[in-house]
């Protein structure tokens, strides 16, 4: 029996795949064609056989499905929810083993499961086990038997047996049959086992999709298990300062309720102070844990946002649709390509292509093998791998935790050893900000520790004893001194042992105030706040530290298409058959303009150009039409291809119909089974073109191929030897090439992307892998021979208008000291046009030589010297990729290419536009800029400033790079900040990036820079506030310890101040929104101290004012205000015999005045550069206002009603006391204005003093006498020199 395989108008009688020969006991018939071809019909070639076999696949699998009563696309819920023949574990086994034997096992399991194993029960002798299948035909397994079900079961059994064969030698006659069997098995798996359809995909019904999710699982891994709130509280309590406070709080309660009581004395509320310490610890722990808890949800939100951008193309109901990775189910038909659908979201089995360029996969992420793996139909494609070249259609077999990558991810999430380094919120290395913060935190913590030790020692003895002991000999002697003076202090001063606890509490509390544990909190809050706000501004931040790094960016290397331009491409010009069609009327399309033109192209010409467009475009580029197909409602895919498809539509041709009517190109419909007869040569950045070959027929037989191609204009022109005119094809001579080049340049000057269209007829035995001897790709490798000597058809000019907000954004970059460089694959003139419109190029970048002659005229008779074109740019302002590579790479003695940093440093200060570039050029640019130390060469820096007015940033370049393609990923990873396009970007680019631009807009990058600088500024504001409190609070505690062996600020009050300046202030100042002035300052220098001179001046000035106020109140307050000294009131017997200590009005006044000075200074700290309007913009930050007012209200409550707990005077303070506290607090505002003026004056005086010294030194050198008498130069010469 033979299966007729349609090849055009005739049939090839090909042995049944040739499984039928096996069934009849003839294993040698695999490659025989029966009957032999007649003399009038050419014998089919090997390719005919492969193509014919491919066309038989659907008939076989459809027949199997039909016989076994399957309804892959059934409409009833019963059919959609019927049980499957295999389960998720069996499919997962195939993905794990990835062998033909595993595929055979799966099909065997499916047969066994079908109808409850009825076939096995009815045929115990034959069985399903392959080793027991007889080679001879019996009545039971004869495929001619009336038992049609048994016939196809036998056919499946034989297919399984053939899958277990070993691979024949490469190039042997049996090799194509070996691969064909796997292809048939893949189709059988799709339709018989998974009830899907290679053409129509799954039924789009939600019922069927949900049933598949229930049966095989969802394509999502359960979210990482969140740490419970109690666990986070426990983690927060591991801070050593908090542990000390807990211990001391417990000791205080024990001491106050036992040893500190006199005989017969009742405790009452004596435990409150120790309890208050514990409550303060609880508050700090709860605040820290709450923030960490919220951070977990922020991470989940970020993850979900990233997942929402991960979309793939699947076929459902015969239509290609975009779905997120999570929505993919087992049985989906997934389309992938190496351009914008490269990442594989689930384990799959490849269905096609059956011929042409094979799909090549990069599996290094899972296997570690860097070599690309070629895939054929029937091969397993693993999740987490990427398509490096080619396209493919595949059926999904395992999703979520059943996939290979999913299992790995699940094991990671379940691991108890997972640490925070795996969290996407943590950076692998320290950013400039974190490096500075680590340094300053170490300094503050060290200083705080020393201060706490000194305070602790001072509470036991006099200052001279401590100074004497500390001066004797370092740390060891200090510890010995501490122990000795502890004994002396207790013995000499007669203090009770319970005072030891008080001393410890005060010392540890000073340490708590000094150690900046709020600094990490401020950083986290600022980064989290900024990242959330940036998302609203179209910047999806993947790594929080990228926010801060962007604030230091000195260079932005940006793409053109879709970033600087709107990515709404429209064909506005076309050169066809010596006629230049340019549509300047925005109200009509180019297609309408061409059809109404007096020199309208012939129908044959229109047919040919629309064929090139429809055939040589990817399946993923599509137009969505209205219900009546009269207009386009939306589109998807590559913007350039979408523009070409729109042109075809406007010319009156339905590109879908054209595709589906072209054998070898149709992927749906009746011709889809012949899809493998075509040959697709996908686009690559090296070739800068894409081609698709479809078979040509004569008398029903393939007699050759026609190759349709599109690509960069200069590439297509160079690869064409003839051109199609109204008179037919003619040789493309020098004049013809010049006309095409001039036309392309005119399009480019108008900012258009110029695309060339061509075709070529090939013989039936054409070698699609052969290389051309002379023609080269842009990367220097040999070009494909089939893509040379083509017939040039025409040029199209695609307009992509500049985004209206781009010029303003680029202008802001230059004001902010950020260089902008454009890296594009477009032609130089197109790149120059867009760069000039956007403001990357200025007039001074062009040469306007007086020697230009009037004879050099451009379009419209204008002189070329007035045209902003590539040829008029100064040296190194624009470079093409090839010239760039030749200059920055040198060839070593062993013939290898080596990067030349010195040559690169001679170019990059001038470079503004890199045209005709490749992704490798991006990587080179990012690497060279990042490694450049040109700023250390002061002579070169001065020369560039003097001769070219180029200012070199005085530190290493911090590079931001944009990218959208898979090949851009290395450059995005190499740059300091990688920006991926959220709309046009591939998944690989998004995975490599730090920030995703949700709108693909350059203006959003500028917004990111502003927010990045705001993060740095917010941390500076918090530091300015915290360090001011540090200086004053620690000094007050030390002075009180030395003077009265008691701090004027009680431990619980210091803890309130600590909470105020750490948690609340960090939240208030970290939420400050960015201001436009941030982009009027230079980038943050990595080597600069985070605490600037002005900040230090502000801190010391405000701290000095606070200390003066507190010292006056401490030592002179009782006399001036008529109150008892606090150190006596709070000491038993302090005011006479029988006096019982109590909370003093004196110390309460000091505490209240101190806090109010901090609150008003918090307003001052909103500004860092001496701004006089300290309240400017405060209404834009309601959180700051709310925290400030809330803190003020709490302070009033603590002072007036917190007497038992917060160590305040009974009844609080009087009205005059409150007025005094508010006045000294508010006086911090005019003090800040005085500091601003004083700083500017001192800076001006210092500058003048330096200038005077310099002039005096120069004058001394001029007039200095030379040995032997006389002076340097005559009096007249000296006079001239001093002018």
State the distance between the two ends of the chain, measured CA to CA, in whole angstroms: 110
Task: Give the pLDDT confidence score for residue 724 in this predicted structure.
Answer: 92
Q: Residue for token digits 């979408």?
A: 642
* Cβ 932 vs Cβ 953: under 8 Å: no
Task: Give the pLDDT confidence score for residue 1042 in this predicted structure.
Answer: 65
- H/E stretch holding 397 reads strand 391-398
Q: Is the N-terminal amide bond of 872 cis, ω within 30° of 0?
A: no
- pLDDT tens digit sequence for 186-196: 988 998 899 99
Task: Give the pLDDT confidence score for residue 1049 in this predicted structure.
Answer: 79
CA distance 25 to 17: 14
Task: Give the pLDDT confidence score for residue 495 in this predicted structure.
Answer: 58
Q: Indicate the DSSP class of residue 881.
A: H
- Give the tokens for residue 354: 């059956």
CA distance 510 to 456: 9
- pLDDT tens digit sequence for 731-752: 999 999 999 999 998 998 888 8
* Cβ 915 vs Cβ 831: under 8 Å: yes
* Cβ 111 vs Cβ 128: under 8 Å: yes
Task: Give the pLDDT confidence score for residue 1107 in this predicted structure.
Answer: 92
Q: Which residues are catalytic?
A: 559
Number of other CB atoms surrounding residue 176 within 10 Å: 18
CA distance 948 to 279: 65
- pLDDT tens digit sequence for 92-147: 999 888 889 999 999 988 888 876 444 333 333 333 333 333 333 333 444 444 45
- Give the tokens for residue 1065: 């202030």
- pLDDT tens digit sequence for 415-436: 433 333 333 333 344 555 555 5
Rounded mean pLDDT, 612-624: 87
Q: Which has the minimum average pLDDT: 57-66, 253-262, 621-630, 1090-1099?
A: 57-66
- H/E stretch holding 1005 reads helix 1002-1044
H helical segments located in 662-799: 713-718, 734-749
Q: Which has the minimum average pLDDT: 195-209, 1057-1071, 1205-1219?
A: 1057-1071
Rounded mean pLDDT, 781-810: 91
CA distance 816 to 836: 19
pLDDT exceeding 70 applies to what percent of the chain? 71
The residue length of the chain stands at 1283
What b/e readout covers 609-645, taking b as 16+ CB neighbours within 10 angstroms?
Answer: bbbbbbbbbbbbbbbeeeeeeeeeeebbbbbbbbbbb
CA distance 511 to 241: 8
CA distance 581 to 1196: 79
Helices 1093-1111 & 1002-1044 angle (0-180, nearest 10):
30
* Cβ 932 vs Cβ 896: under 8 Å: no
Burial of 737 (0-12, 13-18, 19+ CB in 10 A): middle
Which is higher by pLDDT, 438 or 473? Answer: 438
Taking Cα atoms as reference points, which of 1133, 1127, 1164 lies closest to residue 1146?
A: 1127
H helical segments located in 462-617: 463-472, 474-492, 499-514, 518-536, 545-550, 590-595, 603-615
Which is higher by pLDDT, 137 or 445? Answer: 445
Q: Is the N-terminal amide bond of 18 cis, ω within 30° of 0?
A: yes
Which is higher by pLDDT, 493 or 378? Answer: 378
Residue 1001: alpha-carbon gap to chain centroid: 14
Contacts of 898 (CB under 8 A, 6+ apart): 889, 890, 891, 892
Which is higher by pLDDT, 365 or 1142? Answer: 1142
What b/e readout covers 550-584, taking b as 16+ CB neighbours within 10 angstroms?
Answer: bbbbbbbbbbbbbbbbbbebbbbbbbbbebebbbe
Contacts of 473 (CB under 8 A, 6+ apart): none
Number of other CB atoms surrounding residue 938 within 10 Å: 10
CA distance 108 to 88: 15
Which is higher by pLDDT, 318 or 614? Answer: 614
Q: Is the N-terminal amide bond of 353 cis, ω within 30° of 0?
A: yes
CA distance 230 to 285: 10
Q: Which has the minimum average pLDDT: 477-486, 872-881, 1180-1189?
A: 477-486
Which is higher by pLDDT, 456 or 1159? Answer: 1159
E-assigned strand segments in 80-239: none
Taking Cα atoms as reference points, which of 1057, 1017, 918, 1165 lies closest to residue 523?
A: 1017
Q: Residue for token digits 């995703």?
A: 996
Share the mean pLDDT of the chain. 76
Strand-pair category, 720-725 with 771-776? unpaired
Residue 581, pLDDT > 90, answer: yes
CA distance 397 to 402: 9
Count the alpha carbons within 13 Å of 418 in the hemisphere toward its beta carbon: 15
- Give the tokens for residue 1035: 């000094």
Task: Give the pLDDT confidence score for residue 662 in this predicted structure.
Answer: 92
Q: Which has the minimum average pLDDT: 345-354, 501-510, 527-536, 1014-1023?
A: 501-510
The string of DSSP codes covering 40-58 is TSPPP-HHHHHHHHHHHHH
3-state helix, strand, coil in the chain (%, to 5): 50, 15, 35
Q: Residue for token digits 């696949």?
A: 57
Residue 1150, pLDDT > 70, answer: yes
Q: In which band, very low, low, confident or very high, does the pLDDT at 499 lie, cut at 50, 70 and 90?
A: low
- H/E stretch holding 5 reads strand 2-7
Contacts of 759 (CB under 8 A, 6+ apart): 608, 612, 706, 707, 708, 709, 790, 791, 793
Q: In which band, very low, low, confident or very high, does the pLDDT at 262 lie, cut at 50, 70 and 90?
A: low
Task: Give the pLDDT confidence score for residue 58 in this predicted structure.
Answer: 42
Q: In which band, very low, low, confident or very high, does the pLDDT at 1062 lie, cut at 50, 70 and 90?
A: low
Taking Cα atoms as reference points, which of 971, 952, 958 lies closest to residue 929?
A: 958
Q: Backbone phi, then psi, for 409, in 5-degree steps?
A: -65, -40
Task: Give the pLDDT confidence score for residue 339 in this predicted structure.
Answer: 64
Q: In which band, very low, low, confident or very high, does the pLDDT at 1060 lie, cut at 50, 70 and 90?
A: low
Which is higher by pLDDT, 365 or 612? Answer: 612
H helical segments located in 840-880: none
- pLDDT tens digit sequence for 139-183: 344 444 445 567 767 888 888 888 888 888 877 777 778 888 888
- Give the tokens for residue 808: 């303003």
Q: In which band, very low, low, confident or very high, does the pLDDT at 520 lie, cut at 50, 70 and 90?
A: low
Q: Backbone phi, then psi, for 782, in 5-degree steps?
A: -65, 140
* Cβ 187 vs Cβ 61: under 8 Å: yes
Contacts of 1119 (CB under 8 A, 6+ apart): none
- Give the tokens for residue 1243: 């800076």
Rounded mean pLDDT, 1034-1043: 71
Measure Cα distances from 1282 to 46, 1258, 1259, 1266 in Å. 93, 9, 8, 19
Which is higher by pLDDT, 1199 or 699? Answer: 1199
Can you name the residues that pair with 312 across neighbouring β-strands? 323
pLDDT exceeding 90 applies to what percent of the chain? 27
* Cβ 1106 vs Cβ 1061: under 8 Å: no
Residue 932, pLDDT > 90, answer: yes
């Amino acid at each position: 029996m033979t299966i007729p395989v349609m090849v055009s108008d005739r049939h090839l009688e090909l042995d049944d795949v040739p499984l039928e020969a096996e069934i009849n006991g003839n294993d040698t018939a695999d490659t025989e064609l029966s009957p032999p071809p007649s003399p009038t019909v050419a014998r089919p070639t090997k390719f005919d056989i492969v193509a014919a076999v491919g066309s038989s696949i659907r008939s076989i699998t459809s027949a199997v499905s039909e016989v076994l009563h399957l309804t892959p696309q059934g409409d009833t819920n019963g059919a959609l929810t019927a049980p499957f023949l295999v389960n998720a574990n069996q499919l997962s086994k195939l993905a794990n083993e990835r062998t033909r034997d595993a595929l055979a096992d799966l099909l065997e399991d499916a047969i066994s499961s079908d109808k409850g194993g009825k076939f096995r029960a009815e045929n115990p002798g034959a069985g399903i086990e392959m080793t027991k299948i007889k080679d001879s035909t019996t009545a039971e397994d004869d495929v001619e038997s009336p038992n049609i079900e048994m016939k196809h079961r036998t056919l499946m059994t034989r297919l399984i047996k053939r899958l277990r064969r070993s691979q024949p030698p490469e190039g042997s006659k049996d090799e194509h049959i070996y691969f064909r069997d796997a292809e048939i098995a893949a189709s059988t798996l799709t339709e018989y086992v998974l009830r899907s359809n290679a053409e129509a995909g799954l039924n789009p019904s939600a019922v069927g999709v949900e049933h598949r999710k229930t049966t095989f699982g969802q394509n999502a891994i359960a979210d990482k298990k969140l740490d419970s709130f109690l666990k986070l509280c426990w983690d927060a309590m591991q801070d050593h300062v908090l542990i000390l406070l807990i211990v001391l709080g417990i000791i205080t309660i024990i001491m106050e309720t036992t040893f500190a009581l006199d005989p017969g004395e009742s405790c009452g509320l004596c435990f409150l102070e120790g309890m208050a310490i514990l409550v303060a610890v609880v508050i700090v722990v709860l605040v820290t844990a709450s923030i960490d808890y919220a951070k977990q949800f922020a991470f989940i939100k970020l993850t979900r946002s990233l997942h929402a951008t991960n979309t793939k193309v699947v076929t459902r109901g015969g239509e290609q649709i975009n779905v997120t990775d999570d929505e993919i189910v087992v049985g989906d038909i997934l389309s992938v390509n190496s351009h914008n659908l490269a990442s594989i979201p689930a384990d799959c089995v490849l269905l096609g292509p059956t011929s042409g360029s094979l799909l090549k996969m990069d599996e290094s992420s899972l296997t570690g093998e860097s070599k690309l793996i070629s895939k054929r139909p029937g091969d397993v494609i693993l999740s987490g791998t990427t398509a490096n070249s080619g396209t493919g259609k595949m059926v999904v077999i395992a999703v979520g935790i059943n996939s290979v990558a999913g299992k790995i991810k699940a094991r990671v999430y379940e691991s108890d050893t997972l640490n925070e380094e795996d969290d996407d919120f943590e950076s692998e290395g320290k950013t400039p900000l974190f490096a500075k913060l680590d340094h300053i935190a170490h300094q503050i913590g060290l200083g705080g520790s020393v201060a706490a030790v000194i305070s602790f020692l001072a509470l036991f003895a006099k200052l001279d004893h401590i100074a004497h002991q500390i001066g004797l000999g370092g740390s060891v002697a200090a510890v010995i001194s501490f122990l000795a003076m502890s004994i002396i202090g207790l013995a000499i001063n007669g203090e009770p042992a319970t005072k030891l606890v008080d001393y410890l509490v005060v010392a540890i509390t000073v340490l708590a105030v000094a150690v900046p544990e709020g600094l990490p909190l401020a950083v986290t809050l600022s980064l989290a706040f900024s990242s959330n706000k940036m998302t609203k501004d179209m910047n999806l931040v993947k790594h929080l530290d990228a926010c801060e790094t962007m604030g230091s960016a000195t260079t932005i290397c940006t793409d053109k298409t879709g970033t600087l331009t709107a990515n709404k491409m429209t064909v506005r010009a076309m050169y066809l058959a010596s006629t230049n069609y340019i549509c300047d009327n925005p109200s009509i399309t180019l297609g309408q303009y061409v059809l109404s033109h007096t020199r309208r192209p012939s129908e044959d010409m229109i047919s040919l150009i629309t064929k090139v467009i429809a055939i040589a475009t990817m399946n993923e580029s599509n137009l969505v039409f209205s219900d009546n197909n009269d207009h386009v409602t939306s589109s998807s895919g590559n913007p350039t291809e979408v523009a070409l498809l729109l042109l075809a539509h406007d010319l009156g041709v339905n590109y879908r119909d054209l595709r589906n009517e072209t054998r070898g190109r149709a992927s749906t419909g009746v011709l889809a089974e012949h899809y493998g007869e075509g040959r697709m040569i996908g686009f690559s950045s090296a070739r800068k073109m894409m081609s698709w070959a479809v078979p040509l027929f004569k008398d029903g037989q393939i007699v050759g191929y026609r190759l349709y191609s599109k690509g960069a204009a200069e590439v297509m022109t160079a690869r064409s030897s003839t051109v199609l005119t109204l008179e037919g094809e003619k040789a493309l001579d020098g004049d013809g090439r010049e006309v095409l080049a001039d036309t392309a340049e005119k399009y480019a000057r108008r900012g258009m992307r110029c695309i060339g269209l061509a075709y070529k007829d090939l013989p039936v035995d054409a070698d699609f892998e052969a290389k051309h001897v002379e023609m080269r790709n842009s990367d220097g490798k040999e070009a494909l021979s089939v893509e040379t000597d083509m017939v040039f058809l025409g040029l199209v000019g695609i307009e992509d208008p500049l985004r209206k907000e781009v010029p303003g954004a680029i202008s802001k970059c230059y004001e902010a000291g950020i260089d902008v460089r454009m890296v594009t694959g477009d032609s130089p003139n197109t790149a120059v046009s867009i760069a000039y419109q956007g403001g990357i190029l200025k007039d001074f970048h062009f040469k306007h030589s007086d020697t230009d002659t009037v004879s050099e005229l451009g379009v419209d008779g204008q002189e070329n010297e007035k045209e902003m074109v590539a040829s008029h740019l100064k040296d190194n302002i624009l470079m093409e990729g090839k010239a760039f590579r030749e200059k920055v790479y040198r060839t070593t003695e062993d013939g290898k290419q080596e990067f030349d940093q010195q040559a690169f440093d001679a170019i990059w200060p001038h470079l503004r536009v890199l045209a005709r570039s490749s992704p490798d050029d991006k990587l080179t640019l990012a690497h060279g800029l990042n490694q450049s130390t040109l700023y250390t060469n002061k002579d070169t820096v001065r020369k560039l400033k003097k001769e070219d007015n180029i200012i070199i940033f005085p530190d290493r370049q911090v590079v931001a790079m944009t990218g959208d393609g898979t090949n851009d990923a290395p450059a995005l990873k190499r740059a300091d900040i990688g920006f991926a396009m959220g709309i046009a970007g591939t998944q690989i680019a998004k995975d490599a990036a730090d920030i995703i631009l949700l709108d693909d807009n350059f203006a959003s990058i500028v917004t990111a820079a502003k927010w990045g600088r705001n993060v740095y500024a917010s941390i500076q504001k918090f530091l300015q506030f915290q360090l001011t409190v540090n200086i004053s609070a620690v000094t007050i505690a030390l002075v009180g310890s030395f003077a009265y062996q008691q701090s004027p600020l009680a431990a619980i009050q210091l803890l309130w101040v600590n909470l105020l300046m750490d948690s609340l202030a960090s939240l208030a100042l970290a939420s400050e929104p960015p201001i436009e002035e941030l982009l009027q300052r230079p980038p943050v220098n990595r080597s600069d101290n985070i605490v600037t001179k002005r900040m230090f001046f502000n801190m010391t000035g405000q701290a000095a004012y606070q200390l003066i106020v507190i010292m006056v109140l401490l030592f002179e307050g009782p006399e001036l205000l008529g109150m008892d000294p606090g150190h006596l009131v709070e000491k038993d017997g302090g005011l006479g015999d029988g006096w019982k200590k109590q909370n003093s009005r004196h110390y309460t006044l000091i505490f209240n005045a101190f806090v109010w000075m901090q609150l008003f200074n918090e307003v001052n700290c909103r500004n860092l550069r001496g701004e006089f309007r300290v309240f400017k913009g405060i209404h834009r930050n309601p959180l700051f206002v709310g925290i400030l007012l809330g803190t003020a209200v709490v302070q009033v409550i603590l002072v007036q009603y917190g007497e038992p707990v917060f160590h305040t005077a009974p009844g609080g303070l009087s009205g005059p006391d409150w007025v005094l506290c508010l006045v000294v607090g508010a006086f911090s505002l005019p003090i800040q204005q005085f500091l601003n003026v004083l700083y500017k004056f001192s800076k001006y005086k210092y500058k003048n003093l330096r200038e005077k010294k310099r002039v005096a030194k120069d004058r001394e050198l001029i007039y200095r006498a030379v040995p032997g008498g006389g002076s340097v130069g005559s009096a007249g010469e000296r006079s001239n020199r001093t002018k």
